[in-house]
């Protein structure tokens, strides 16, 4: 029975053939364990995949095809037992292929699916080969679909759980289980998106603290061209956790959640400089959370009559890492950093370091 199910999941991987409206990128996960698909949201590349595909590990080896490219991922949120679904942050070369915007995924697929309706299933092998199969919808529930393979000669094989289901050129689901060697169960895309909307909108469960970053190995302070903190819009939750304590490397900044948005005005070392990159780091620790949306502006005009121009906006990852780059390099003598919100509401927001390159 187990071999039949494994074969079932592999063949189901070919189950999609239409061109995906959102150009959703299929991704091989820990080949030959399974599949996922890549999306981008506020400059972070994520892979969405079934939880059972990475069961027992949060570190992922990822690859995509046409042409082949590799990357790595780290799972920060799983939804079992309520849903066989996980989300990972992607690093490496695969981020260049992360073009589908999360907000472009369908929020309601009622008009895209119907009993007997045609679907396609697409996956990518660890070697980068794209595989497609046709199917039709045999059962629809609130969160699930069941799909039957259309061609009598096709079968489902292992390692394809997590493949994308499309209908009418749009991604409408993700395979999570082979029921037989010709039939598979899929999570509906609108159900997946509803869960992730809650997470990305800061209403979901907090991601766990990463095991490889601890208080002991945290670097605190200002680095690179960051010279001094000229202003900070809020006081700390404790006297020893101020903006200036963070500047001096004595203690990470901790501000109350009600003090967001928080603005930090940063003077550059040596006056006007050409800057290409701003990096921020934070460590998740008990009782605190890390920033999420961050806006960086550069000062134009004189210090007495400044105007602030955009340098960029990005999300810090749930693991407390943000790099905001501007390839051309821009000249300025000061930056204004605004922390808009955090990954978990109701907790003190922590910041360990700011670097300007």
Cα–Cα–Cα angle for 62, 67, 68, rounded to 5 degrees:
25
**CA torsion angle for 216, 342, 79, 86 (degrees, to 10)?**
-70
Rounded CA separation 260/316 (Å)? 15
Closest C-alpha to 47, from 4, 6, 102 = 102
Q: What is the pLDDT of residue 114?
A: 96
Which of 255, 324, 269, 332 lies closest to 296 in space, CA to CA? 324
Round the CA-based radius of gyration of the chain to a whole number and report it: 23
Query: Quick one: pLDDT at residue 48?
Result: 97
Rounded distance between C-alpha atoms, residue 284 and residue 355, angstroms: 19
Percent helix / strand / coil, the chain, rounded to 5: 15, 45, 40
Q: CA-CA-CA-CA torsion for 101, 103, 109, 112, nearest 10 degrees?
A: -50
Say if CB 179 and CB 194 are below 8 A apart.
no
> What whole-number distance in Å separates Cα of residue 293 and Cα of residue 341?
6
User: How confident is the model at residue 158, as a pLDDT?
Assistant: 74
| Domains parsed from the chain with CATH numbers | 2-200 (2.40.10.120), 218-356 (2.60.120.260)
Tell me the HSE value of 88 on the side-chain side, using a 13 A CA sphere: 30
Cβ atoms of 195 and 79 within 8 Å: the answer is: yes
Question: Per-residue pLDDT tens for 83-123?
Answer: 999 999 999 999 999 999 999 999 999 999 999 999 998 88
Q: Which of 230, 209, 187, 14 is nearest to 85 (CA)?
A: 187
Per-residue confidence (pLDDT) for residue 152, from 0 to 100: 78
Supply the pLDDT for residue 56.
85
Which stretches of the chain drop beneath a pLDDT of 70?
Answer: 1-23, 157, 201-218
CA-to-CA distance for 14 and 19, rounded, in angstroms? 13
pLDDT of 202: 55
Tokens of 107: 């929020």
Take residue 151 and report the two structure tokens written for it: 């061609």
How far apart are alpha carbons 351 and 254 in whole angstroms? Answer: 7
- Report CA torsion sign: 302, 308, 309, 313: positive
Q: What confidence score (pLDDT) does residue 150 get?
A: 86
Q: What is the pLDDT of residue 214?
A: 47
């Amino acid at each position: 029975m187990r071999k039949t199910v494994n074969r079932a999941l592999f063949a189901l991987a070919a189950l999609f053939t239409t061109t995906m409206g959102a150009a959703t990128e299929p991704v091989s996960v820990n080949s030959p364990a399974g599949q996922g698909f890549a999306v981008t949201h506020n400059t972070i590349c994520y892979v969405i995949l079934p939880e059972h595909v990475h069961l027992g590990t949060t570190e992922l080896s990822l690859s995509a095809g046409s042409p082949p490219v590799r990357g790595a991922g780290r799972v920060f949120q799983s939804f079992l037992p309520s849903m066989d679904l996980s989300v990972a942050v992607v690093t490496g070369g695969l981020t260049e292929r992360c073009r589908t915007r999360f907000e472009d995924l369908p929020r309601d697929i009622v008009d895209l699916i119907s009993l007997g309706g045609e679907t396609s299933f697409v996956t990518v092998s660890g070697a980068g080969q794209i595989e497609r199969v046709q199917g039709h919808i045999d059962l629809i529930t609130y969160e699930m679909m069941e799909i039957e393979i259309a061609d009598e000669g096709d079968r489902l094989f292992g390692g394809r759980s997590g493949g994308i289901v499309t209908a009418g050129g749009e991604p409408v689901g993700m395979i999570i289980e082979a029921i037989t060697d010709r039939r598979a169960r899929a999570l509906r895309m609108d159900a997946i998106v509803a869960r992730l909307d809650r997470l990305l909108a800061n209403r979901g469960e907090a991601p766990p603290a990463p095991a490889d970053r601890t208080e002991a190995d945290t670097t605190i302070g200002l680095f690179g061209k960051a010279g001094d903190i000229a202003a900070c819009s809020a006081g700390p939750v404790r006297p020893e956790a101020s903006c200036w304590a963070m500047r001096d490397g004595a203690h990470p900044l901790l501000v109350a959640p009600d003090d967001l948005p928080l603005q930090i005005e940063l003077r550059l070392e040596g006056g006007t400089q050409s800057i290409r990159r701003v990096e921020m780091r934070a460590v998740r620790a008990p009782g605190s959370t890390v920033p999420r949306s961050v806006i960086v502006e550069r000062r134009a005009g004189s210090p007495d009559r400044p105007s602030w121009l955009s340098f960029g906006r990005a999300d810090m990852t749930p693991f407390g890492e943000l790099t905001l780059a501007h390839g051309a390099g821009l000249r300025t003598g000061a930056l204004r950093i605004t922390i808009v919100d955090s990954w978990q509401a109701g907790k003190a927001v922590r910041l360990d370091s700011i670097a300007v390159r």
